[in-house]
Amino acid sequence: MKKSLFKFTAPALAVGLALSAHGGVSAADNKAEKAEAKENKAKVSQSFKKGSDVSHRLAPVEKKVFTVNDILVELGIELEGKEALTIEEFAYYQEQVDSVFGKLGAATNQLEAVTKKFDDNSAEVIEVEVSISSAYAAAQLTQEYLNSLEVVEEVPEVDVPETPEEPTEPEPTEPVTP
């Protein structure tokens, strides 16, 4: 019983996208957010003096994660319903999954560079960390699904000319005598 890849990856992608879109902060955390905002006010104003803020630095990381999510959705749609792949198809899809992991690694490294310069406990940084984690989980599920598919050697189709049927001669019939 194979389950659809999309059924596996959709929840992970949805969580990542939802937290990215909403900032991961609920109304109940409003007081904590205000207190954190006062503490980080000096850091934020200092970052504006330097000509960049954490949001500006996180934008390329978020863009990489969104690109990865798009690729994973496309892969999920392409792989959905397939039970077997040719060697060439498997190599193509494996290359796509490897590319996704490479982009996620680059996004993680870029995020680490940002957190060295800015507060790594800010809501924006945590939001991006969650997005990256969700994308990693979806990529792992895609890899597992790809590995579960059967890889078959493609048998070239050979057009075999049809041999014309030899006409059958009617069997001689004996004349009917009265």
Sequence spans of domains, the chain: 5-23+53-151
- pLDDT given for residue 131 in this prediction: 95
What was the pLDDT predicted at 78? 93
Q: Is 2's pLDDT higher than 50?
A: no
d(CA 104, CA 112): 12
- Report the pLDDT value the prediction gives residue 170, as an integer from 0 to 100: 65
Q: Who contacts 54 (Cβ-Cβ below 8 Å, separation ≥6)?
A: 44, 47, 114, 118, 119, 122, 124, 125
On whether the CB atoms of residues 3 and 148 are closer than 8 A, the answer is no
Average pLDDT of the residues in 104-113:
94
The span from the CA of 145 to the CA of 94, in Å, is 11
User: Is pLDDT above 90 for 86?
Assistant: yes
Of residues 64 and 50, more confidently modeled? 64
Range in 1-15, 16-30, 104-118 with the lowest mean pLDDT: 16-30
Question: Among 112, 111, 141, which residue's Cα sits nearest to residue 13?
Answer: 141
Give the per-residue pLDDT at 55. 83
Taking the CA atoms of 111, 117, 118 and 121 in sequence, report the sign of the dihedral they define: positive
pLDDT of residue 124: 87
CATH of domain 5-23+53-151: 1.20.58
Chain-centre distance for alpha carbon 103: 11
**CA–CA separation, 36 and 163 (whole Å):** 84
133 vs 10 pLDDT, higher one: 133
Question: Has residue 23 got a pLDDT over 70?
Answer: no
Tokens of 55: 């949001």
Say if strands 84-86 and 150-152 run parallel, antiparallel, or are unpaired: parallel
pTM recorded for the entire structure = 0.59
Bridge partners (DSSP) of residue 152 are 86
Q: What is the pLDDT of residue 13?
A: 53
